[in-house]
């Protein structure tokens, strides 16, 4: 019988392509659905949230300027890497959500498929969101979608992994960068996803993952003048109202929380939620 101690995993934040601990040094206990201890997760602070916004803004120019085809390739690479770690994520989802191993594995498979699905939309979304507009005059009038900018995403509380992927992938495939607040009670699958993102050719800062108290982190993100949009999926009704009020200071685009079946066909709603339309007039013959 071996007396060797297992090596416990140290979970960290993911900011700017690096894995820092919270600047405050705080952690909080993450337990399974029966109250058993799973790990200590970093308890991110407001300073961590501000650092994540800085990293996301720095990465925005390069990511939004990349070709849609390249962004799709990178999302597909995320799916490849995630598929290779299927067993690890299935175990984490089972522990986090109290579901059977088979149900957890099905969630991971669905998450892999979702990355592939959104990767396929990368060079097609412009065709459904853009148009050539009829005008009376010797002009071309063209409308095309562009990314909004830095999007703060509150991940779903009830679906720690499939829900997270379902809200994150459409944000970044269209050229936005993201600051994601993981599910407060079950952050471990999200923090492990950061390791996949870091090894999937995704430039540092495109996705920044924080764990901790959702309300504590959401407040500075909603009020931050360099955050362009909010996805409030993981906020309760009362918190969502407060965040919408804070977001009005610089007219952020806000996606309000609503009930969702994360196993259903995602459609294009989230792809279009964080796009702006640019219209260009150009004289004919020039």
- What is the band of 2 on the pLDDT scale with cuts at 50, 70, 90? low
Average pLDDT over residues 21-37: 92
Q: What is the pLDDT of residue 122?
A: 95
Q: What is the pLDDT of residue 251?
A: 85
Encoded tokens for 81? 């890497």
Average pLDDT over residues 116-127: 94
pLDDT in tens, 213-238: 999 999 999 999 999 999 999 999 99
- What is the band of 101 on the pLDDT scale with cuts at 50, 70, 90? very high
Average pLDDT over residues 73-90: 97
Q: What is the pLDDT of residue 250?
A: 87
Whether the Cβ atoms of residue 133 and residue 160 lie closer than 8 Å to each other: no
The separation between the first and the last C-alpha atoms of the chain, rounded to the nearest angstrom, is 82
Burial class from Cβ neighbours inside 10 Å (0-12, 13-18, 19+) for residue 181 reads buried
Average pLDDT over residues 91-106: 94
Is the pLDDT at 8 greater than 70, yes or no? yes
Whether the Cβ atoms of residue 93 and residue 104 lie closer than 8 Å to each other: yes
Is the pLDDT at 83 greater than 90, yes or no? yes
Is the pLDDT at 1 greater than 60, yes or no? no
Give the pairing of strands 207-210 and 177-181: parallel
Domain 27-283: which topology? Aldehyde Dehydrogenase; Chain A, domain 1 (3.40.605)
- As a whole number of angstroms, the distance between CA 224 and CA 218 comes to 10
For residue 131, give the DSSP letter: E
Of all residues in the chain, the percent with pLDDT exceeding 90 is 80
Least confident of 97-111, 153-167, 168-182, 269-283: 269-283
- As a whole number of angstroms, the distance between CA 170 and CA 244 comes to 21
Q: What is the pLDDT of residue 196?
A: 97
Encoded tokens for 170? 């459409």
Encoded tokens for 179? 């600051």
Mean pLDDT of the chain, nearest integer: 94
Give the pairing of strands 139-147 and 131-132: antiparallel
CA dihedral (170, 173, 179, 181) positive or negative: positive
Question: What SS3 state is found at 177?
Answer: strand
Spell out the SS3 assignment of 28-47: EEEECCCCCEEEEEECCCHH
- As a whole number of angstroms, the distance between CA 175 and CA 168 comes to 12
């Amino acid at each position: 019988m071996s007396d060797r101690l297992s090596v416990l995993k140290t979970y960290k934040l993911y900011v700017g392509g690096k894995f820092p601990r919270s600047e405050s040094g705080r952690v909080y206990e993450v337990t399974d659905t029966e109250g058993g201890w799973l790990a200590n997760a970093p308890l991110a602070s407001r300073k961590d949230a501000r650092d994540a916004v800085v990293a996301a803004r720095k990465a925005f120019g390069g990511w939004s300027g990349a070709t849609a085809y390249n962004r799709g390739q990178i999302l597909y690479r995320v799916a490849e890497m995630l598929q290779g770690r299927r067993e690890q994520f299935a175990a984490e989802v089972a522990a986090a959500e109290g579901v059977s191993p088979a149900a957890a594995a099905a969630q991971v498979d669905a998450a892999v498929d979702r990355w592939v699905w959104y990767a396929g939309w990368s060079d097609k979304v412009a065709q459904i969101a853009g148009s050539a507009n009829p005008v009376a005059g010797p002009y071309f009038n063209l409308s095309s979608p562009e990314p909004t900018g830095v999007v703060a995403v509150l991940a779903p509380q009830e679906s720690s992994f499939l829900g997270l992927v379902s809200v994150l992938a459409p944000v970044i495939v269209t050229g936005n960068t993201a600051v994601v607040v993981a599910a407060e009670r079950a952050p471990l699958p999200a923090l492990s996803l950061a390791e996949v993102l870091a090894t999937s050719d995704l430039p540092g800062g495109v996705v920044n993952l924080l764990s901790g108290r959702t309300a504590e982190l959401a407040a500075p993100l909603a009020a931050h003048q360099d955050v362009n949009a909010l996805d409030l999926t993981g906020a309760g009704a009362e918190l969502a109202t407060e965040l919408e009020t804070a977001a009005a200071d610089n007219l952020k685009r806000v996606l309000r929380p609503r009930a969702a079946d994360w196993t259903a066909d995602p459609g294009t709603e989230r792809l279009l939620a964080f796009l702006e339309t640019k219209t260009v007039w150009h004289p004919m013959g020039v």
